[in-house]
């Protein structure tokens, strides 16, 4: 999974964000228990972030966040770019995101640990 730092659209605070498939087990767990731990590793160095999650997508409206098709298209792109992604065909990217009912997941920075 690729993730990056961006702003949580509900809290307005920095968060780790990633895109998840609408039918994934990971998403089912986050809907049931909205808390996650994300670990980044490079060689033997690592940093872990854990916090409450916000899920925003076609089946997961969030308070104060516009979830019409155009707004979700921009949100998915923003999260993908924050995670270091680029794409040669944004229309195809948008089509796949909508077809898979993908969601943006934001993990709050409640606790950060590291070995560096």
62 vs 16 pLDDT, higher one = 16
**In this structure, is residue 115 part of a structural domain?**
no
pLDDT confidence of residue 37: 96
Output the CA–CA distances (angstroms, integers) from residue 43 to 39, 101, 116, in the order listed: 13, 34, 12
Identify the CA nearest to 19 among candidates 83, 71, 64: 83
pLDDT of residue 85: 93
For residue 116, is it within any domain? no
Whether residue 89 lies inside any domain: the answer is yes
DSSP letters for 43-83: TTEEEEEEEEEEEEBTTB--TT---SHHHHHHHHHHHHHHT
pLDDT digits (tens, 9 = 90+) for 56-76: 999 998 988 988 999 999 999
Q: What is the CATH number of the domain that holds 105?
A: 2.30.110.10
Average pLDDT over all residues of the chain: 95
Token pair 């950060």 is found at 112
Query: Is 14 within the bounds of a domain?
Result: yes
Please tell me the pTM assigned to this model: 0.94
Residue 52 has pLDDT above 90, yes or no: yes
DSSP state of 22: T
45 domain-assigned: yes
| Residue 26 falls inside a structural domain | yes
Residue 97 lies in a domain: yes
pLDDT at 13 (0 to 100) = 96
């Amino acid at each position: 999974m690729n993730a990056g730092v961006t702003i949580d659209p509900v809290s307005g605070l920095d968060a780790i964000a990633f895109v998840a498939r609408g039918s994934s087990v990971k998403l089912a767990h986050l809907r049931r228990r909205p808390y996650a731990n994300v670990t980044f590793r490079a060689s033997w160095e690592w940093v872990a972030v854990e916090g409450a999650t916000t899920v925003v997508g076609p089946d997961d409206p969030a308070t104060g966040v516009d979830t019409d098709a155009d707004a979700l298209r921009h949100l998915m792109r923003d999260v993908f770019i924050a995670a270091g992604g680029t794409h040669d065909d944004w229309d195809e990217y948008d089509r796949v995101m909508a077809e898979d009912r993908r969601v943006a997941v934001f993990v709050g920075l409640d606790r950060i640990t590291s070995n560096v």
